[in-house]
Structure formats: C-alpha cells, structure tokens
Structure 1
Amino acid sequence: MAHVQYSITNIYNQSPIERLLYISSASYGKDWISMLHSHSFTELFYVIDGNGYFCTENEEISIQKDSLIIINPNVKHTEKSSTEKALTYIVLGIDNLRFEFKNPTSTSFQSYNFEEYRNEILPILQTMLSEVKQKKKNYEQICQHYFMVFLLKMLRITEEEFSFSSSKDVPTECEAIKEYIDTHYQETITLDTLTNVSHLNKFYLTHIFSKAYGISPINYLLERRILHSKELLKNSDFSITQIAHVTGFSSSNYFSQSFKKYTGTTPKGYRQKYNIKRK
C-alpha cells in the first residue's frame, strides 16, 4: 500500500486580515443611474456577461465578459453599460484589505481578463451567492472561507502581480471608533456619542478618523446603514419605513433622501431593480 502525506503546517503561521462585507449580483438596466461614488473598503467587480466601461475621475477603460476589476478603498468610480449588451456582474466588498500592485498602471485600481479561468473562478462566486440567498446555518463563515479561496486563486492566476496588506496603519482610537460604529450603527449615534465613547475631542476625533479611513465618522456611519439597507431591500419583506427604523435612520424621509444621494436611486427604485414584489 502506498501512502503519501503532504504537510501544510505553514498555513498556521498566517492570520487573515481581511473580512468579507457583502457579495451582490446585478444587471445593468435602463433605470440604473451611473454616478461616481467611493467606499472606505475595497471592491472586487467580476463581469459575468455584457460589456461597457469602468470609470474613475480620471480614467475610463473597456470591460467585458470575464473582466475582473480590483478597486482600492476611497477611489471614486462607477460603471457604464453598453446599449447592445448590458452588463451583468458580481461585486464583493472587503474590509481591511488593500491591494499593492507590483507593476501598476494605477495604484487605485487594476483590471484583469479572467476568460481562461472562468470555469475555475465563477463557481466560487456563485456558491457564495447561493449561501447568502439561502442563509442556512453558518453561511457567513462559509462565505468568508470561499472568499479566502477566491483571493488565493486570484493570486495564483495573476502570478502574484499584487500583494495584500491592511488598508493602512490606523491608530488604535480610530479602530475602536470604527468597531463601535460597525456594532451599533442601528442605534442612534451622533458625533457626541462617539466623543463620549472615545473620550476624544470631536474635532480631533473627526480629523484622525478621516485621515485614517478617508471618510468622516458620520459619513462612515451613513455608509454602514446604507449597506445594510441594500441587503434588506433585496432580501426582506420589510417596508421602507421599517428598513429606515432598523438601520438607524431617524425617519423614512431622511432614509430615502440619504439613500438616493448615496446610490443615485430611491429605495423603492433599488428594490424594483431586483424584481422583488411587494404588497
């Protein structure tokens, strides 16, 4: 009998620094408003079908089926679809991760053609989507593990054209404030609340947080609420008023105004885009 054992003990010397925030799928429709926006986290954008353009403030590049675009934090960007063949794509949001490109044409984003590896990459993303839609026991941990596989596959396919690092060196005080917002964003939070929690002067608090994450603490709070509301609009039967309440907005009107300002569409329009029937 032959017996071969392969050691993988080196993996225990490595600890993941990144965290999957969300995975979503979308099709570019006529009602979609393309507008520049940014996030305090990294996004990975994989084109399932169609073609169009990926745009930043200074650049516009063609994208098509099997394009993979890596967008680092705080980069203003948007996508535009062609009229002939609309874009269909999957997007991942990842916290505490920045890509360091070894031969960059841009430090803010990079685009790769994964056509040759579609059958290797796409099933991973589709499995993650299936997990978040079904929400069975431990689905979040399962998605996080699939995400790690996806990252390592990317690294192998691109022959290590990039490396991973945490977003940046962040002061401990900022990490504590961010963690508090991530945990309590559904509650009533003001700048005074964060001042009391951190024991920092509100002006100093805003300064160091904005410097660390490229976004003010109050705008980061809004971003977290909008992110949660998107998932509820797609995957729940909650009314607009209920969603506003459970995501921490003071009123449905303020929620609708904030949502449109951030996404370019109303909560109702965003929900209809995903063909969810409401009572």
Structure 2
Amino acid sequence: MALVSNNLSADNVSLLYVRQSEYQAADWHSTMHSHYFTELLYVIGGDGRMQFEAHSEVLKPHSVIVVNPYVRHTETSSTDRPLHYIVLGLDNIRLAKDELMVENFYHFTDTAGEILPLLKLMLQEASRQLQGSDRINQQLASVIVRLFIRANKIHLISPVDRVPRDGQLVKNYLDNHFKEHLNLDQVASALHFDKFYIIHVFKHAFNDTPMSYVIHLRLAASQELLENTDYAIGQVAMITGFDSQSYFNQLFRAKVHLSPSQYRRLHR
C-alpha cells in the first residue's frame, strides 16, 4: 500500500534542540522515558545500547538512531568505553516505511561520514548564538533528515495526534522521578503547575491519574529487580519508591496476584 505522505518534506522539521552528552557515572540517569517529538541520536564514541520496552539496539561510533514520538526508550553506556553522542529534538515529523509499517525507531551507520560534520557545525552555532544561528541550525537539521531518509529509504508522515505538551511534561517528570517519595504537591512545585491542573491534563492525555501511573512504574521496576537481583524484598521496596515493605507487599499482591517472593521464585 502506498504511503500517505501528507506532502511532508524535511522542510516541515522544527528543530527543538541540539546537544551533546557523555557518560559520567555520577550523573547519568538511564530511565525509560518518551517524547512528544522525534529524537535523532548520533554516537561520536564509546559503546552502549538504546533500550526499548522489549528490545535493545547496540550503539557504536557512527551509529545513527531515530526514535519516533511517544516511544519509551533510554540510553545505557559501557563503563570501559563511555558513550558520547549528539542528539537532536525534531518536532512535526515521524518516520515510516509505509503507512502499515511505522516502526518505533530506525537505525543505520553513517559509514560515509556525511552527518557528523553537520552536527558539529550545529553545536558550534548553538554555542556561539550569533545572528542567524537558529535559522542556520534549522536548515542543517532539514539537511540531516534528508540524508537519513535517503540512506534508509523511508519517508516522513504526519505526527500522531499530539498529547498536550503539559501532559507530556508531567509524564516525563514522573518517568524520571518515580523512585522518589513523590506526591502531587511535589510534582506541582517542580513543574510550577497547579496540582489539580496536573491531574486534569494527565488524565486527558493518558487516561490515567498521575499517582496511578507512578504505581505502575514502581511495580514494573520492582518486577525487574526481583527477576534480576538478589536484593531483599525490603530493599526492592525502598529502591522503587514504596514507603514500606508491608505496603509494597500488599499492592504487589493486589496488582500482580502473587507475593513478591512468589513472583521471584517463579521468574528465577
């Protein structure tokens, strides 16, 4: 079936940011998250992985990976060869092979070295902030998207219906802080939103309440720890943000229909 392209071209791309990151054990947070926009990541050096919900991609120098909107992901790094990359936030587009194949991500290797000089120029323009820098970077982002499309034989299609940006901001905050002892007042203070507005916008965007979503994240993280570590049940509860082991046990049994100990025995 032919792709419905909606007359999109790389000129539709809106550049949100360009930045570079390098693995530092002290401040690196590998937490699953998503964006309302498309993200392009170029590995300059080191080794790591792009982790998705049920899959991971190996990242090596000159890997280029584009993650479509609302796809949960995170980057992890080798400690021996720290990951170093440049990332672009690109709004108003997503990528697809055809209308029946909209993948979560697309991955290739920049063997010709076409993209890296453009990204370095973008970083230089962003740091100098001279007259016209934003316009230059916008045009460079469009060129990079064109090169990626040509290399992968894929197309641009219209973004999915946008989750309200405030709802996505709340979700991103919860994704990154759910292991802390959160309440709505703390979230409201951190984001400078009214807490009742937070409830409204999150419910509208994701058909769930913020604290119910936090519980979902904590339970998922606790299941991973039960499966893959030897932490005591109380430690698992503490690490994943539960106030007490008894509350953790009660909630885990209610949601998973097994006790944490039973779950661990079943999955080890």
Please tell me the TM-score bracket, short chain as reference: 0.5 to 0.7
Q: What's 2:91 paired with?
A: 95
Question: Residues 104 and 110 of structure 1 are in contact (CA less than 8 Å); yes or no, is this contact kept in structure 2?
Answer: no
Q: 1:43 aligns with which of 28, 31, 39?
A: 39
Aligned residues: 184
Q: What's 1:52 paired with?
A: 48
Q: What's 1:69 paired with?
A: 65
Q: 1:163 aligns with which of 148, 152, 155?
A: 155
Q: 1:145 aligns with which of 139, 149, 173?
A: 139
Q: 1:135 aligns with which of 109, 115, 129?
A: 129
| Matching of residues 171-186 of structure 1 within 5 Å | none
Structure 2-normalised TM-score? 0.57
1:114-171 per-residue CA deviation (whole Å, 9 max, x = no partner) reads 12x21x211100010000000001211110001111111112222x2x2112212469
1:193-242 per-residue CA deviation (whole Å, 9 max, x = no partner) reads 89xxxxxxx95x7665558xx999xxxxxxxxxxxxxxxxxxxxxxxxxx
Residue identity opposite 1:33 in structure 2: H
Distance in 2 between residues matched to 1:104 and 1:84, nearest whole Å? 40
Q: Percent identity among equivalent residues?
A: 30
RMSD (Å), alpha carbons: 3.8
Distance in 1 between residues matched to 2:127 and 2:197, nearest whole Å? 35
Q: What's 1:80 paired with?
A: 76
Distance in 2 between residues matched to 1:71 and 1:91, nearest whole Å? 11
1:7-65 per-residue CA deviation (whole Å, 9 max, x = no partner) reads xxxxxx96833211000001112221312111111100100111111101211221100
* Structure 2, unaligned runs of 5 or more: 1-7, 169-190, 211-240, 242-268
Shift of 1:69: 0.8
* SS across alignment from 1:107: coil
Question: Residues 95 and 102 of structure 2 are in contact (CA less than 8 Å); yes or no, is this contact kept in structure 1?
Answer: no
Question: Residues 50 and 76 of structure 2 are in contact (CA less than 8 Å); yes or no, is this contact kept in structure 1?
Answer: yes
Higher deviation after alignment, 13-22 or 68-77: 13-22
* SS across alignment from 2:11: coil
* Structure 1, unaligned runs of 5 or more: 1-12, 179-186, 195-201, 217-260, 262-279
Residue identity opposite 1:164 in structure 2: L
Distance in 1 between residues matched to 2:140 and 2:148, nearest whole Å? 12
Q: What's 2:22 paired with?
A: 27
Residue identity opposite 2:140 in structure 1: Y
| Matching of residues 238-277 of structure 1 within 5 Å | none
Change (3 A) 1:49 1:170: closer
Question: Residues 18 and 166 of structure 1 are in contact (CA less than 8 Å); yes or no, is this contact kept in structure 2?
Answer: no
Change (3 A) 1:144 1:206: same
Question: Residues 44 and 85 of structure 2 are in contact (CA less than 8 Å); yes or no, is this contact kept in structure 1?
Answer: yes
Structure 1-normalised TM-score? 0.55
Shift of 1:190: 4.4
Distance in 1 between residues matched to 2:195 and 2:203, nearest whole Å? 12
Distance in 2 between residues matched to 1:124 and 1:133, nearest whole Å? 14
Change (3 A) 1:193 1:35: closer
1:121 aligns with 2:115: yes
Residue identity opposite 2:123 in structure 1: L
Distance in 2 between residues matched to 1:206 and 1:80, nearest whole Å? 28
1:167-203 per-residue CA deviation (whole Å, 9 max, x = no partner) reads 12469xx69x99xxxxxxxx96548889xxxxxxx95
Question: Residues 36 and 162 of structure 2 are in contact (CA less than 8 Å); yes or no, is this contact kept in structure 1?
Answer: no
1:17 aligns with 2:12: yes
Shift of 1:106: 7.6
Question: Residues 10 and 143 of structure 2 are in contact (CA less than 8 Å); yes or no, is this contact kept in structure 1?
Answer: no
